[in-house]
Amino acid sequence: MDLAEMGIYTVEDILFYFPYRYDVFELKPLQELIHEDKVTIEGRIVHEPSLTFYGKKRSRLSFTVEVEEVAVKAVMFNRAFAKKQLNIDDTVTLTGKWDAHRLQITVNNYKKGPADEQASIQPVYSVKGNVTSYKIKKAVRTALQTCKDDINDFLPDTYLESYKLPGRLEAAAAMHFPEDRVQLKHARRRFIYEEFLLFQLKMQLLRKWNRESTSGNAQHYDPDRIKGFISSFPFTLTDAQQKALHQILNDMKSPYRMSRLLQGDVGSGKTAVAEVCLYASITAGKQGALMVPTEILAEQHFQSLQKTFGDRASIVLLTGSVKGKKRRELLLEVANGEVDIVVGTHALIQDDVHFRNLGFVIVDEQHRFGVEQRRVLREKGLNPDVLFMTATPIPRTLAITAFGDMDVSVINEMPSGRKAIETYWAKENTLERILQFIGKRVCEGEQAYVVCPLIEESDKLDIQNAVDLYDQLEEFYQNKVRVGLMHGRLSADEKENVMKEFADGDLDVLVSTTVVEVGVNVPNATIMVIYDAERFGLSQLHQLRGRVGRGKRQSYCILIADPKGETGKERMRIMTETNNGFELSEQDLQLRGPGDFFGKKQSGLPEFKVADMVHDYRALETARNDAATIIENDLLYCDPAYQQLNMYLEDNAMLHEKLD
């Protein structure tokens, strides 16, 4: 193993191969040491160290040191050789994990002699094979010497001055060999800003090129007909809906291709906005498409669109289960323009689907839709305006990083007259009372969901859980309540049937694995019981909760959970305290970190070396605004102060790779 195998080829590579963390050796009084923290203590050895061996190569060296007249026990694992070096009466400085209850330190670093006056900060590198930290440090020192004059700062001076950031070389040196915390902090600040700015410039340039490369698709819709359509709704749009609609309509009439994310809590009325946009597109003589993640959802959207549009549009449903002759007929109608709106799943963008004149595409629950599908659309030579809708409010910090190449509209207001859902956190032993409560509501003609334990990567267990719970409910209610069961193993038809029965009110309670998670709309359902709620993220819980509270009646969400850890308890508390999806998503992000937020499959998030989207969100906002100013004013090309920055962007090929 050598440096090259670690991806380090040039002097610059090594210079910017930063430590992944730092060990801080700072002496503190015993009193101030925190249990389980990494600490440094200084003391005198009062007993001859004793060494014991166990297993093949394992050993344990233990000894007692006197620190501030207190006897502290020290243990060191697998460092038998240290026995020779540590003798009675030696003064030693030990660093390791502190056990405040047993007054014991598990040493992972020791030094003979007293501690340094000043805290020493030691870089820790991620190393492989025989490339040691020592080797890296040495290479870094050499690199700092040799390329002193080659590292120029591509950030314009005005930025360094106004943010008080150190220059690039100085900051790099401080990242490796910080003299103190303050110096390290400023060095980090510098690279955090640099990373964010470069990333934002890249995203915003992409967005700009995207727009400019697609001129000529202005949609000339008919404002009067749109107004008429809106007034046919049984409600008036909220201010937030109107604002979002206005933004989208503006994009549609512009000659550029729209790529916009519409965020809004479940039930905030995104679909209503989307319907107006689809209609606008139709008045402009174009076709529209609505893509959703599951067949059930497609079916539901199809029905509700038909209701809303009446004879204003010809709408078809195109899913994987539409096959054979039926499919061929539909495709023909789509191709010759008889069809105005196509609703469907991924099947909607398969090879054999050709639109006559596709103007507007809505992708619902965007984060479940792969980047891939977006690319396919584009590759079919279709340049429609695209609206991505998501009911999982995405924290602002993530939205501007993951979707930095998109515009964002937010519906941050609920239609008036909705009752806030009451959320309770219960232990499993209260199940009987919960079932009684459900029974009562059912007598009043209401319906309930019971969502089952989710066991990762085990469809079988998921189903077993659902089946067991279903049996339990059947036994409890003795046919007085009609209970249905739905899980992932049912065929699409079976699922649809169960869902339909529930939606039609032929079932009172639906026991289900999380397949109900996505978007189904049964306004008569007022209770959502979630089993093992601690296994879900906040956003997911919120999503599930959003299945109720859709009608006029008071709705309830009951979380059955017995979380062991503090984070789990915190989650449950947060759920009971807020109904605001955006607030929750911010909290979720704090608790889970950006990687977990979208789930592993498709995070789409960039990786930063130094920066952290959650903790450094202020820097992210700043960088985003600065990038916007730079792009809007074309500074990269027009202002000599930005020439270096522009060259850096080009040299690093940052602008050549496409994001999707």
- Residue 19 interacting entry, from Mg ion, ligand ADP, none, C-beta within 5 to 8 Å by type: none
Instruction: Note whether 271 binds ligand ADP by CB under 6 A.
Output: yes
**Binding to ligand ADP (CB under 6 A): which residues in 534-563?**
550
Enter the tokens of residue 180: 């103190």
Find the shortest distance in angstroms from Cβ 316 to ligand ADP. 21
CA Rg value for the chain: 31
Residue 545 binding target from ligand ADP, Mg ion, none, CB below 5 to 8 Å by type: none
Of the two residues 64 and 238, which places its CB atom closer to Mg ion in the complex?
A: 238
Helices (H), 457-522: 459-477, 492-503
| Interface pick for Mg ion out of 64, 183, 204, 271 (rule CB under 5 A) | 271
Q: Give min distance, CB of 321 to ligand ADP, in A.
A: 24
Q: Which of 252, 315, 377, 391 binds ligand ADP (CB under 6 A)?
A: 391
**Residue 409 binds which entry of ligand ADP, Mg ion, none, with Cβ cut-offs from 5 to 8 Å by kind?**
none
Helix (H) or strand (E) holding 581: helix 581-592
DSSP state of 128: B
* Among 178, 267, 404, 594, contact with ligand ADP (rule: CB under 6 A): 267
Instruction: Candidates 136-144, 264-272, 426-434, 628-636: pick the segment binding ligand ADP (CB under 6 A).
Output: 264-272
Q: Pick one of 96, 166, 269, 581: the residue that binds ligand ADP (CB under 6 A).
A: 269
| Least CB distance to ligand ADP at residue 250 (A) | 20
* Choice between 412 and 590, CB closer to ligand ADP: 412
Instruction: Say how many C-beta atoms besides its own lie within 10 A of residue 600's C-beta.
Output: 7
Q: How many residues bind ligand ADP (CB under 6 A)?
A: 15
| Smaller CB separation from ligand ADP, 123 or 264 | 264
Q: Tell me which of ligand ADP, Mg ion, none is bound by residue 237, counting a contact when its beta carbon lies within the kind-specific cut-off of 5 to 8 angstroms.
A: ligand ADP
Torsion sign (Cα): 591, 595, 598, 600 = negative
Decide which of ligand ADP, Mg ion, none touches 267; Cβ closer than 5 to 8 Å per partner kind: ligand ADP
CB of 413 to ligand ADP, least distance (A): 9
Q: Which stretch binds ligand ADP (CB under 6 A): 147-155, 267-275, 460-468, 645-653?
A: 267-275
Nearer to Mg ion, 184 or 414 (CB): 414
* 577 C-beta neighbours (distance < 10 Å), count: 12
Q: Using the rule CB under 6 A, which residue among 184, 272, 347, 541 binds ligand ADP?
A: 272
Question: Tokens in use for 512?
Answer: 């289900």
Q: CB of 160: closest distance to Mg ion in angstroms?
A: 47
Torsions phi, psi of 168, nearest 5? -65, -45
Which residues are within 8 A (CB) of 437 and not within 5 positions of it... i.e. 6 or more apart?
A: 527
Q: Name the minimum Å distance from CB 274 to Mg ion.
A: 8
Q: Interacting stretch for Mg ion, rule CB under 5 A, among 44-52, 87-95, 267-275, 428-436? A: 267-275
Of 487, 652, 625, residue with least CA distance to 163: 625
Question: Which of 266, 348, 386, 645 touches ligand ADP (CB under 6 A)?
Answer: 266
DSSP assignment of 548-593:
S--SSS--EEEEE----SHHHHHHHHHHHH---HHHHHHHHHHHH-
Minimum distance from residue 180 beta carbon to Mg ion (Å) = 53
Shorter beta-carbon distance to Mg ion: residue 271 or 308: 271
Report the C-alpha gap between 157 and 168 in whole angstroms: 11
Report helix angle 566-577 to 538-545, nearest 10. Answer: 30
What is d(CA 397, CA 600) in angstroms, rounded to the nearest whole number?
Answer: 18
Report residue 634 as tokens.
Answer: 């074309």
Encoding tokens for residue 465?
A: 């859980």
Q: Which is nearer to Mg ion, 64 or 271 (CB)?
A: 271
The residue to which tokens 């080797």 are assigned: 135
Interface region with ligand ADP, contact rule CB under 6 A, candidates 259-267, 316-324, 478-486, 602-610 = 259-267
User: Which residue's CB is nearer to ligand ADP, number 391 or number 466?
Assistant: 391
Contact criterion met (CB below 8 Å) for 266 and 337: no
**How far apart are CB 551 and ligand ADP at their closest, in Å?**
8
Query: Which lies closer to Mg ion via its Cβ, residue 183 or residue 271?
Result: 271
* Cα 358 from Cα 289, distance rounded (Å): 8
Which residue's Cβ has the minimum distance to Mg ion? 271
Among 93, 120, 241, 401, binds ligand ADP (CB under 6 A): 241
In whole angstroms, the minimum distance from the beta carbon of 383 to ligand ADP comes to: 26
CA distance 520 to 365: 12
Cross-strand partners of 120: 25
Choose the stretch contacting Mg ion; rule: CB under 5 A; options: 67-75, 131-139, 265-273, 371-379.
265-273
Contact stretch for Mg ion (CB under 5 A) within 216-224, 271-279, 482-490, 615-623 = 271-279
Beta strands 447-451 and 509-512 are: parallel
Nearest by Cα to 389 from 281, 283, 515, 519? 519
End-to-end alpha carbon distance in the chain: 34
Calpha distance 198→205 (Å, rounded): 11
Shortest CB 97 distance to ligand ADP, Å:
49
Residues with Cβ within 8 Å of 475's Cβ and at least 6 positions away in sequence, in order, are none
125, 133 Cβ separation under 8 angstroms: yes
Which one of Mg ion, ligand ADP, none is in contact with 568 (Cβ closer than 5 to 8 A by kind)?
none
Long-range contacts formed by 104-107: CB under 8 A, 24+ apart: 104/72, 104/73, 104/74, 104/75, 105/39, 105/41, 105/72, 105/73, 105/74, 105/75, 106/75, 106/76, 106/77, 107/74, 107/75, 107/76
Kindly tell me which of 241 and 271 has the beta carbon lying closer to Mg ion: 271
Binding region for Mg ion (CB under 5 A): 271
Binding region for ligand ADP (CB under 6 A): 235, 237-238, 241, 264, 266-272, 391, 415, 550
